[in-house]
Amino acid sequence: MADESDKDLKKTEELMEELKRKREHILQMGGPKAIEERHKKGQMSARERIEYFFDSGTFTEIGLFVKHRTTAFGMSKREVPAEGVITGFGKVNGRYVVVAAEDYTAMAGTFGEYHGKKFVRAIEFAKDNGWPFIGMNDSGGARLQEGIDTLEAYGWLFRAQILASGIIPQIALLMGPCLGGQAYHPIMQDFLIQTKHTGFMGIAGPAFVKTQTGEEISLEELSGYKAHAIKSGQTHIVAEDDADCLDKCKELLSFLPSSNREKPPRIPTDDDPERKEDLLSLMPEHPYEPFDMYEVITKIVDQGYFFETLGLHARNIITGFARFNGRPVGIVANQPKWMAGCLDIDASDKAARFIRFCDLFNIPLLTLQDCPGYLIGSQQDWGGILRHGAKLLFAWADATVPLISIILRKSYAGAHYGMLDKSIGADFVFAWPTARITIVGAETAASVIFAKEIKEADKPDEMREKRIKEYSELYENPYRAAERGYVDDVIDPADTRKFINKALDSLENKCVVRPWRKYSNINL
């Protein structure tokens, strides 16, 4: 019996030794040399990124031993550790988060059938548990050796992401190349953070573009951060390097609930909720002179801290997160320093998507208005400004979170409700004494209503000024709107923070019940 026990013990020890050997081998991924190449390019390996991102000792890996089943084109002899993607869960600042981190050192992190299955399992696991999902993208693209299996795996992933959308926050970190079909899954997530020097995204790379179209263009120009953070508006946040990218992701997560079943996390603050600020001094004398809306934002939010999204794209509108008395709040504000704060196609798209995200995840919304209207002209009309502009109206009217609007100066025409007013769904609208709220500016109104009278007057210029003043005094002021109940109060600008916090207090348990429907048919 002793001999049998010794044999069993030896067999067990061999099994444990085999497990240890297999694990250590896979954990090496592409090996020390490949990791060293990553470091030379200023990048971390996938496992280093995970170690940096998660609270120490909290990460649990899922699917370490998953392996592809392809035999064609030499794949039967090709080992791809962990299928080129590390999946699992752990805690970030004390809250559970799920991750899928592609590893470029393992067959260039290419996306194949089982790579895709691991991604899908991670997203579904995150959705079922009500935990945010983070994709760390760094891949050479589709694994062509797997043919239709790779193609079908993309479909599984896209569907999993879409079904999780609005249930859990999804954040994509673009830390390496992400081209072709591979680029779709990060772009379908809620936010995309791209590293400046190593993150690239595009529907096709420069070589393929040249082959198919004849266009010669560099990878940086075609797929770098300037292409997407500035031009296309697909990159929400730009990071300097891997560490900065991971840090910014943690910052963003701090504003978000873990799922749509929770409120966003409120934190303690020693910033007086009724703190006064001299905001009126920021306003120029003339209503059409620009000022910097960022100065207003930083003066009214907790500790002056504002986390901006899409800050380099459609700069006439500002979107981002801040806190009021510890509460996360989404801010949508016009920027008079850029295109006079007009709403155009890009600004409408940018704001509407942000509004819808905040509404999906129970984050109150605040607008700061100074907008002369939607941008007009042939290029905007032909580009579909009416359709794109209407997205804002859908977003506001659909929203059920607390909605607060502050009108600083101009609130004209369609922008009046495009930037949130009572009629489109605001819970509270407060105006500064400098506010101008009417269908169009006095100059425009007078030129239409009194056109004939002005033309026939002995002194047309004097008549024009007289009629402009008359119209302005009658309609272009906040008190007429307040008389009608369209504005809840005309407030001292110094008390703006106080009124916002009191409004948020009163709306803490806001509940909206509406008739059943699948969703609104927003004009995409």
Q: Which of 215, 235, 253 is the last residue of a domain?
A: 253
Tell me: do 109 and 244 sit in the same domain.
yes
Residue 274 lies in a domain: no
Tens digits of residue pLDDT in 410-428: 998 888 999 999 999 999 9
Burial class (CB in 10 A: 0-12, 13-18, 19+), 17: exposed
Does 414 participate in catalysis according to the annotation? yes
Tell me: do 382 and 392 sit in the same domain.
yes
What pLDDT is attached to residue 3?
67
Q: Which regions of 51-120 does DSSP assign to beta strands (E)?
A: 60-62, 85-92, 95-102
- Paired tokens of 168: 């859990």
Tell me: do 86 and 192 sit in the same domain.
yes
Residue 463 lies in a domain: yes
Alpha-carbon distances of 130 from 86, 95, 166, 187, rounded to whole Å: 20, 11, 11, 21
On the question of pLDDT at 1 being above 60, the answer is no
Nearest to 432 by CA among 503, 488, 372, 505: 488
Does residue 334 or residue 288 have the better pLDDT? 334
Tell me: do 85 and 201 sit in the same domain.
yes
Q: Which of 209, 234, 253 is the last residue of a domain?
A: 253
- Paired tokens of 14: 């061999």
Burial class (CB in 10 A: 0-12, 13-18, 19+), 519: exposed
Tell me: do 85 and 158 sit in the same domain.
yes
- Paired tokens of 477: 């002021």
In angstroms, the CA 325 to CA 269 distance is 6
Report the DSSP beta bridge partners of residue 174: 137, 194
Tell me: do 308 and 430 sit in the same domain.
yes
Tell me: do 118 and 188 sit in the same domain.
yes
> Among 90-94, 135-139, 161-165, 456-460, which is the least confidently predicted range?
456-460
pTM: 0.93
Tell me: do 73 and 196 sit in the same domain.
yes
Q: Which domain holds residue 289?
A: 280-439+477-506
Does residue 466 or residue 315 have the better pLDDT? 315
Set 122, 415, 446, 482: catalytic member:
415
- Provide the domain count of the chain: 3
Nearest to 70 by CA among 117, 114, 25: 114
Residue 15 lies in a domain: no
What pLDDT is attached to residue 421?
95
Tell me: do 168 and 216 sit in the same domain.
yes
Does 441 participate in catalysis according to the annotation? no
Contacts of 513 (CB under 8 A, 6+ apart): none
Q: Which of 234, 253, 272 is the last residue of a domain?
A: 253
Share of the chain above pLDDT 70, in %: 99
Residue 21 lies in a domain: no
The answer to whether 6 and 47 have CB atoms below 8 angstroms apart is no
Averaged pLDDT, 390-402 = 96
Report the DSSP beta bridge partners of residue 135: 100, 172
Set 141, 414, 418, 441: catalytic member:
414
What pLDDT is attached to residue 8?
72
Set 84, 180, 330, 425: catalytic member:
180
Residue 10 lies in a domain: no
In angstroms, the CA 83 to CA 79 distance is 8
Does residue 245 or residue 31 have the better pLDDT? 245
The answer to whether 430 and 499 have CB atoms below 8 angstroms apart is yes
Burial 75-97 (b: 16+ CB within 10 A, else e): beeeebbbbbbbbbbbebeebbb
Set 88, 90, 116, 181: catalytic member:
181
Tell me: do 429 and 455 sit in the same domain.
no
What pLDDT is attached to residue 89?
98
Residue 521 lies in a domain: no
Tell me: do 241 and 288 sit in the same domain.
no
Share of the chain above pLDDT 90, in %: 68
Residue 523 lies in a domain: no
Residue 264 lies in a domain: no
What pLDDT is attached to residue 519?
84
On the question of pLDDT at 59 being above 80, the answer is yes
Question: Which residue is it, tokens 């996938």?
Answer: 46
Tell me: do 306 and 420 sit in the same domain.
yes
Using pLDDT thresholds of 50, 70 and 90, give the confidence band for residue 470. confident
Secondary structure in 3-state letters for 374-391: ECCCHHHHHHCHHHHHHH
Tens digits of residue pLDDT in 66-106: 888 888 888 888 888 889 899 999 999 999 999 999 998 88
The answer to whether 305 and 323 have CB atoms below 8 angstroms apart is yes
List helix spans (H) across 195-309.
Answer: 206-213, 219-223, 225, 242-253, 293-300
Does residue 368 or residue 463 have the better pLDDT? 368
Q: Cα Rg for the chain, rounded, in angstroms?
A: 28
Does 63 participate in catalysis according to the annotation? no
Where residue 481 sits, what CATH number does that domain have? Answer: 3.90.226.10
Averaged pLDDT, 286-315 = 96
Does 181 participate in catalysis according to the annotation? yes
Helix axes 442-449, 460-475, angle to 10 degrees: 120
